[in-house]
Chain A
Amino acid sequence: MKFKLFLFAVPALALYGGFFLLPAVQGLRYATTDWDGYSATFTEVGAANLTEVVSADDLFRNALTNNLKFMLAVVVGQTALALLLAALLAVRTRASTFLRALFFLPTVLSSVSVAFIWKFVYDPNFGLANAVLDAIGLGSLKSAYLGDENTAILWVAVAQIWFHAGQMMIIYIAGINQIPQELYDAAQTDGAGRRQQFRHVTWPMVAPATTLVIAYTTLQSFKAFDLILGLAGNPPQSGLDVLATRIYTTFANSQLGYAAAESIVFMVAIALVTFLQNRAARMAHG
């Protein structure tokens, strides 16, 4: 019986072991070479790739900085927006059911599609953003958007939030619906208004959902790739280069060994961010 159960897992284990775990281990091996990806020979370089990625690679550092900026903007913006929308739509009415469905809709689109939509929103000459600003008399706020190297990544963050806020809203709605109604009743009896109810009941009670939303959003934004390539083209300009696109570009430039080393650092960075976040969440929950 037990042995037969193991057989159930064999096909999946074989494929997953062979095409996921095995390459993951091989990656460690490639990272210690200067292999270009197609030559028959290569040289062992030991830890030189890793050392360079971590300490002497300006392009990598630039991508990491962009990644962190993007992550911070998306985590803060998306979490706040998702909670706001969830709080407004938690009551189940016809209208709120429809709006939930609408706000979730962007999530089913492909990143490339979302990228094209936002490319047009941000087009400096014909784009929707500038057209709207002109129309409402705020023409002075017009900007170059993706054309401004310093803020470009933040405009991508806006697109990312548009893309996934609806998904996080659903997690928050589930969290809000688990709060016992008595807590709100009691707060109301004590004379708390809507805003105070949110602050003293909803916010502390959805803490588990907040932890989840922040964890998901962090991972999602750290792995940004498709959206960036769609908006910026391939390879992206330096203001929009993130770790995943950097690894891809290095690889496309026939520096396979070096790209493998970058992948390892990328992996460690994600693990580190996740670890710090778990610590922070545990501290916040007491």
Chain B
Amino acid sequence: MSRRLILAVYTLLISVPILVIVGSSLKTTKELFAAPFGLPPHPTLDNYATVLGEQDLLRVLGNSVLVVSVSVPVTLLLGSLVAFAVARLPKWPSAVLFGVFAIGLAVPAQAIMIPQYVQFERLGLRNSLTGLILVDVVVTLPVAVFILAGFMRTLPPELYEAAEIDGAGPWATFRRIAVPVSYPSLAATAIFLLVMHWNDLLYPLLFIDDPEKRTLPLALLDFQGEYLTDYPLLFTGVVVASLPMVLAYAFLQRHFVAGITAGAVKG
């Protein structure tokens, strides 16, 4: 097979389902089943009205935005502080600190979710967005440390030492040297965290009972039960849940690719 043919086929495989999803969100079920690949004959926003109104997806969207706007900066800050310590501590303390967080890379969330459920329940942190934010932070901290320390360790020590000779304490060195210099790595980590926290289903499923506190992936999953074969409505939910990430990807493509690829260590 020629190069062009393979690429053309794969382009169709990726784009056709996505276009069908977007098109279907503007159709009725009848129209979709009659011609799944066709353009919407009478484009309608009824599905969007149902999803955002009756289904309260606007509130759910707000929850998701709230969660990531706290969880991502907090993870980033805590992770970069550890990464800085790993980069600046002498060999052994640095290795121990890094090793403690490396354990977290090897332990999948599915293996600890059950004791976490008990713990959060006891502390009254279950069924709350605060609890969800907290668990998102701790579960992704190891990856953030891994990516950021990997970067900060490669910076020449002279860079930090110069600042320290000028009398800067560790906090000033962190803020004025380490953070600005690590910008590409911080951006990639931020994007990785954003995608992980935005798309997570496991913890919302485990932690959130109250429909008003659901995040997007959980609300989408509930849709499936409610509208078993109302595909246009399901797809409208998919579009609403995906649009923010897809738009961000369109504008910050390089950071998305770098971040998601770097985060692959966690699977």
CB contacts (< 8 Å) of B264 on chain A: these are 167, 171, 216, 220
CB contacts (< 8 Å) of B113 on chain A: these are 247-248, 263
- A136 adjacent to chain B (CB < 8 Å): no
CB contacts (< 8 Å) of A30 on chain B: these are 114-115, 118
**Total inter-chain residue pairs, C-beta < 8 Å:** 252
Cα A34 to Cα B117 in complex, Å, equals 16
Q: Mark A44-86, 1 if CB is under 8 A from B, else 0.
A: 0000000000000000000000000000000000000000110
Known contacts: A27-B115, A113-B238, A131-B37. The answer to whether A105 contacts B14 by CB under 8 A is yes
Whether A223 lies near B110 (C-beta < 8 A) is yes
Q: Is the interface of B mostly helix, strand, loop or mixed?
A: helix
Whether A117 lies near B17 (C-beta < 8 A) is yes
- B253 adjacent to chain A (CB < 8 Å): yes
Q: Mark A1-45, 1 if CB is under 8 A from B, else 0.
A: 110111011011101100111111011001000000100000000
Which of A26, A110, A243 has a CB less than 8 Å from the CB of B217?
A110
CB contacts (< 8 Å) of B145 on chain A: these are 12
- How many whole Å from A254's CB to the nearest CB in chain B? 12
Whether A16 lies near B170 (C-beta < 8 A) is no
Whether B267 lies near A85 (C-beta < 8 A) is no
- How many whole Å from A31's CB to the nearest CB in chain B? 9
Q: Is the interface of A mostly helix, strand, loop or mixed?
A: helix
- B245 adjacent to chain A (CB < 8 Å): yes
Which of A102, A112, A167 has a CB less than 8 Å from the CB of B15?
A102
CB contacts (< 8 Å) of A85 on chain B: these are 7, 10
B39-47, B182-190, B196-204 - the one binding chain A: B196-204
CB contacts (< 8 Å) of B108 on chain A: these are 219, 222-223, 266-267, 270
Whether A22 lies near B119 (C-beta < 8 A) is yes
Whether A110 lies near B241 (C-beta < 8 A) is yes
Cα A23 to Cα B135 in complex, Å, equals 12
Q: How many residues of chain A get a CB closer than 8 Å to chain B's CBs? A: 81
Cα A105 to Cα B139 in complex, Å, equals 25
Chain B positions 222-248 with a Cβ under 8 Å from a chain A Cβ: 224-225, 229, 231, 234-235, 237-238, 241-242, 245-246, 248
Cα A113 to Cα B220 in complex, Å, equals 8
- B134 adjacent to chain A (CB < 8 Å): yes
Cα A243 to Cα B109 in complex, Å, equals 13
CB contacts (< 8 Å) of B224 on chain A: these are 116, 119, 230, 233
- B165 adjacent to chain A (CB < 8 Å): no
Known contacts: A23-B115, A26-B115. The answer to whether A167 contacts B110 by CB under 8 A is no
Chain A positions 225-257 with a Cβ under 8 Å from a chain B Cβ: 225-226, 229-230, 233-234, 243-244, 247-248, 251, 256
Give 21 A-B contacts (CB < 8 Å), ordered by A residue. Answer: A4-B170, A9-B82, A13-B100, A15-B138, A16-B101, A19-B119, A19-B135, A27-B115, A99-B11, A105-B14, A108-B242, A109-B245, A110-B220, A116-B21, A116-B235, A225-B201, A226-B201, A230-B201, A248-B113, A266-B108, A266-B111
Interface positions of B (Cβ within 8 A of A) = 3, 6-7, 10-11, 13-18, 20-21, 32-33, 36-37, 78-79, 81-82, 84-85, 88-90, 93, 97, 100-101, 103-104, 106-119, 134-135, 137-139, 141-142, 145, 164, 169-171, 174, 195, 198-199, 201-202, 205-206, 216-217, 220-221, 224-225, 229, 231, 234-235, 237-238, 241-242, 245-246, 248-249, 253, 256-257, 260-261, 264-267
List 15 other contacts, CB 8 Å, given A108-B249, A223-B108, A229-B201: A9-B82, A16-B138, A88-B7, A105-B246, A106-B14, A109-B246, A116-B234, A117-B238, A119-B234, A126-B231, A128-B37, A171-B261, A247-B113, A263-B111, A267-B111
